[in-house]
Structure 1
C-alpha cells in the first residue's frame, strides 16, 4: 500500500529583517514528505536547514517571516498560521522537535520525570498517576537504566547522552506524527551518537512516526535516511533516495560534501574540505550560488540560475551540468565507485569490531 503524503512545502521563501537589511534565508524551496519515511536535510552551517524546519512548527524568530509559498500538513495550511495559539494543536502534539543541545530543552530546576509527566498530562489528558507510570515506561524505553529510581533526578545528574534520551522521551510523550531531529548527535561522542541513532530508528519502527533529520554529516545520513535533500544557500540543490545521492550524485556541491567524508580519508593525507565560503544571503544571488566555489562552473553558472533537472522519478538536481548542451564532467576520483568503497569500509569496521570483541 502506497504511503500517504503527510507534509508538503511548495516554493517556500523565508526572510529575516536585520536592522535595515533583509536576509533571504530560504529561497523557493519545495519538498514532499510521506508517512513513516526518514528525510535527511544536509548542508553546511547557514544553508537554511534549521530555518526551513522551524516553519513547520511556527518557531521562526520574531524578525523572520514566510514571504512566499505554501506549507501543508495533511490538509491544514501551516503557512497561514500567525499566532502561537493557532499552533497549539500542531507544535509538539503533531510535529515535535529534538534539538542538538538538550540543556536548552530541559528545565534545570525541575526533575526529569516531572518534565515528561507534564507533557503527557497536557497532550494525552492523563491523570498524574497514569502520567508518572507512562513517563517511567518512556524513560525505560529510551534506555535510561533504573528509570523508576531516576524519575526524581535533575538534569545535571544525567550525562549528555542520557539528557538527549530524555529529550527524545519528552518529544515522544506528545505522540507526534512527525519528529524533527535537529543535529541531535552533534555534541555527543561517536559511540553515544551511534546509540542515539539506533534508538531513533527503533522508536520510529515502533511508533510509526515520520522523521526529518537535519545534519551536516553525510556519514550519519547513510545509516538513517530513506531520502536526502541537499541544501545550499537557502535552496534545495539536489534531492533523491539515499542510494541516488550517495552512488549517483549530480551536483558539484554534493560531490564536495561526499569527498569530505572522513571515512574516505587516507591516514597521513589532508582530508578534503570544500574550498571558499558560502555567499552572503543579504545580497541577490546571480546564477548558481555554488559557482564561485566550484571547479566545474561554466560561464552560464555565473549569469543564470539553473532549473531543477529530473534525473529519475525520485532524483532531481539543480545544476547546468545536466543540460544536454553541457560538456561531460567526471565526478572527483575519491567518490568514484563509492558503493564499493563504502562496502569495503563497512567490512573492515566489522572485522575490527570482531577482533575487539574476541
Structure 2
C-alpha cells in the first residue's frame, strides 16, 4: 500500500521508442516514490533518461515513445491508463506542471505576456478575466517582474531570457500545481541570472508548498536546492539518497565520477577538470551487468555479467553496485572526493579572498 505522503509512485517502469524500425529502451525498470513537499533532484549525463522519465508523468512523450511496462500512480490514480490529450487535461498543468529549459518553447510569441497568464488562470482557477488579470499581475510581482502594469501588455521578445523564465514560472504557479517539474530551467541562463532563478524557485517552493522535481546535470545546483537525489545512468536510477548522504557518502562509481567532475575540484595549476572516460552504452541493445562497468576503474568480473541489485545503505540511501555486496573487496572512493565538503568550502573561501 502506498503511503499517503507519497505523491507519485513509479513501479518497474519501462519506456521504449521506435526509431527507424528499431526499439530503443530509454527507461529500464525504474521504481521511485516522490514524497509530499520534498525537492527531488534527478541528475545524470545527457541521454540518461531524466527528461523521458518525467515526461511520463504528464503524458508528454514524443509520438514514437510508449510505456511498455510498469505503473505510475499519482495520488492513487493510474497515469498509464491515460491515453489522449483529453484524458490528460485534469492532470497536465493543473496537478503536475513543467518548466522547460527554453522558455520560448513554452510562450506564444504572438500573444502578450499578460494574456498568456490570464488564459491559464481562467482555465485552471475558473475566474473571470477581470479577476484573472488582477491575479496575473500579482503572480508577475511574485516572480520579480517590475513595472507589471506596463509589462503585462508586452510580448515575449521584449523580455530577456531570465525574465521570460520568470514568466514561465508565473504561468506554472497560476496552474496551482501539486507537483512542479523543473527541467533544467537555468541551463540557458548566465551564472548570475541562474542564481536568481534558483533562489526564486526555493522561495516559491516554501511559500506555495508544492512538491518539486528538479532535473539537472549540475551537482552544484543539486547541493543548493534539493532534499533527495536520484542519480540516473543509461535509463536506470543507480543511486538514491538525501543530499547530505550523496555528497558525504556516495556509493556508486558513477556517482563518484560525477562528483569528481565538479568545477570546484578543478586542478589549481592546470585548471583541468576530471572527465569520465568512454561513452554511455547504446540503448538499442540489451545491457549485460552494470551499464557503467566499461567506463569504471572499479569494475569487477561480475559487473560485466550480472546486473547489480539494490543494496540499502540506510532508510533513505541505496545504490545498485556490486561494491556494496558483503563479499566485495573494500574500495575507498577516489581521493579527490574524500572530505568533499571541506575541499569545496576551502576553494570558495580562497576565491572570496582573491576577490576581496
Distance in 2 (alpha carbons) for counterparts of 1:137 and 1:144: 10
SS of corresponding position for 1:202: helix
Deviation at 1:352, TM superposition (A): 6.1
Deviation at 1:347, TM superposition (A): 4.0
Distance in 2 (alpha carbons) for counterparts of 1:242 and 1:133: 39
Match of 1:256 in 2: 257
CA deviations on 1:310-346 (whole Å, 9 max, x unpaired) are 0111100000000111111111111001121233344
Distance in 2 (alpha carbons) for counterparts of 1:310 and 1:299: 22
* CA gap 1:233/1:77 in 2 versus in 1, 3 angstroms: same
Distance in 2 (alpha carbons) for counterparts of 1:251 and 1:209: 30
* CA gap 1:292/1:90 in 2 versus in 1, 3 angstroms: same
Deviation at 1:3, TM superposition (A): 7.8
CA deviations on 1:178-206 (whole Å, 9 max, x unpaired) are 00000000000011000000000000111
SS of corresponding position for 2:42: strand
Distance in 1 (alpha carbons) for counterparts of 2:275 and 2:172: 35
SS of corresponding position for 2:157: helix
Question: Matches of residues 303-322 of structure 1 in structure 2 within 5 Å?
Answer: 303-322=305-324
* CA gap 1:170/1:352 in 2 versus in 1, 3 angstroms: farther
SS of corresponding position for 2:240: strand
Deviation at 1:172, TM superposition (A): 0.7
Distance in 2 (alpha carbons) for counterparts of 1:192 and 1:348: 23
Can you give the 5+ residue segments of structure 1 that lack an aligned partner in the other structure?
A: none
Q: Tell me the number of residue pairs that the alignment of Structure 1 and Structure 2 aligns.
A: 353
Deviation at 1:210, TM superposition (A): 0.3
Match of 1:341 in 2: 343
2:299 corresponds to 1:297 = yes
Match of 2:15 in 1: 14
CA deviations on 1:225-267 (whole Å, 9 max, x unpaired) are 0000000000000001001111100000000000000011133
Distance in 1 (alpha carbons) for counterparts of 2:32 and 2:345: 30
Distance in 2 (alpha carbons) for counterparts of 1:62 and 1:128: 34
SS of corresponding position for 1:29: strand
CA deviations on 1:51-105 (whole Å, 9 max, x unpaired) are 0000000101111111111100111111111111111110000000000000111
Alignment partner of 1:276 out of 275, 278, 289? 278
Deviation at 1:177, TM superposition (A): 0.6
TM, length-normalised to structure 2: 0.97
Deviation at 1:350, TM superposition (A): 5.5
Is 262-271 or 106-115 further displaced after alignment?
262-271
Match of 1:45 in 2: 46
Match of 1:128 in 2: 129
Distance in 2 (alpha carbons) for counterparts of 1:176 and 1:346: 36
RMSD of aligned residue pairs (Cα, Å): 1.3
Match of 2:201 in 1: 200
Deviation at 1:176, TM superposition (A): 0.1
Match of 2:267 in 1: 266
* CA gap 1:304/1:40 in 2 versus in 1, 3 angstroms: same
Deviation at 1:23, TM superposition (A): 0.3
Match of 1:220 in 2: 221
CA deviations on 1:86-133 (whole Å, 9 max, x unpaired) are 111100000000000001110000000100000000100111111111
Match of 1:78 in 2: 79
* CA gap 1:322/1:103 in 2 versus in 1, 3 angstroms: same
SS of corresponding position for 2:314: coil
Distance in 1 (alpha carbons) for counterparts of 2:142 and 2:354: 30
Distance in 1 (alpha carbons) for counterparts of 2:281 and 2:148: 48
SS of corresponding position for 1:311: strand
